Amino acid sequence: ELKVEQNPLFLSMQEGKNYTIYCNYSTTSDRLYWYRQDPGKSLESLFVLLSNGAVKQEGRLMASLDTKARLSTLHITAAVHDLSATYFCAGGSGGSNYKLTFGKGTLLTVNP
Amino acid sequence: GAGVSQSPSNKVTEKGKDVELRCDPISGHTALYWYRQSLGQGLEFLIYFQGNSAPDKSGLPSDRFSAERTGGSVSTLTIQRTQQEDSAVYLCASSLRGQGLTQYFGPGTRLLVL
């Protein structure tokens, strides 16, 4: 059974600083997803990482995947207040990776 | 284009009553999923549909939970004899196929069982 652990669970940052959220998973997963959730809202897809060494970037966010280490990272560059949200990573399992197992989420607060 | 829609957005019910939650996936998406989000358990997978069939129901918590999908589109999640521990946000997602593609989530139904 796939297990996904994120850390930290809470992250308070100052604007302009850099930080990384880590996502470890327990068994082989060919797909790693990052989602963002704003308070009271649903999940917004950020990235899908499909292979070892995959790196994707969108604005101030960059995600990477190391399948050998079973580790994905979400790096935040020069944080701005608008990035304040909860970030979830999820691994895909099941015969076609349809079943998402989520981490507990990282609550990110970016302070001015 | 239209995203995944869910109704109702909020539902308050009394313990022991039955509730039905509805999900309209993105048009053309053959795969549909239900998840549950609660403070204690986080985000949990409930069930996966490919077309009208549910090859994986492994996440349904008990036999009080059931789901169906008709016409390869709309899905209904039914909870019978609701309990207080059923209180959660029920999220529906859809994807073009069930092959590890991005799942697009709806706004959720917030269920409160009194």
| % of chain B with per-residue pLDDT over 70 | 96
Q: Residue B39: its pLDDT value, please?
A: 86
Q: Residue A95: its pLDDT value, please?
A: 67
Report the residue from A42, A92, A104 with minimal CB separation from B107: A42
Report the residue from B45, B107, B108 with minimal CB separation from A100: B45
Q: What is the 3-state secondary structure (H, E, C) of chain B?
A: CCCCEEECCEEEECCCCCEEEEEECCCCCCEEEEEEEECCCEEEEEEEEECCEEEECCCCCCCCEEEEECCCCCEEEEECCCCHHHCEEEEEEEECCCCCCCCEECCCEEEEEC
Please check the confidence at residue A93 and state whether its pLDDT lies above 80.
no
Chain A nearest CA to B104, separation (Å): 7
Chain B nearest CA to A33, separation (Å): 8
Chain A nearest CA to B70, separation (Å): 20
Contact yes or no for B99 and A98 at CB 8 A: yes
- pLDDT tens for A9-66 read 999 999 999 999 999 998 877 789 999 999 989 899 999 998 888 899 999 999 999 9
Q: Residue A21: its pLDDT value, please?
A: 98
Report the residue from B42, B95, B98 with minimal CB separation from A102: B42
Q: With contacts defined as CB-CB under 8 Å, which chain A residues touch B104? A: 45
Cis geometry, peptide bond prior to residue B8 (ω within 30 degrees of 0): yes
Q: Is any Cβ of chain B less than 8 angstroms from the Cβ of A50?
A: yes
Query: Lowest-confidence range among A10-14, A90-94, B7-11, B21-25?
Result: A90-94
- pLDDT tens for B89-98 read 999 999 987 6
Instruction: List the Cα angle B95/A106/B112 in 5-degree steps.
Output: 70
Q: Residue A29: its pLDDT value, please?
A: 72
Separation CA B114–CA B105 (nearest Å): 27
Structure tokens at A68: 């050998």
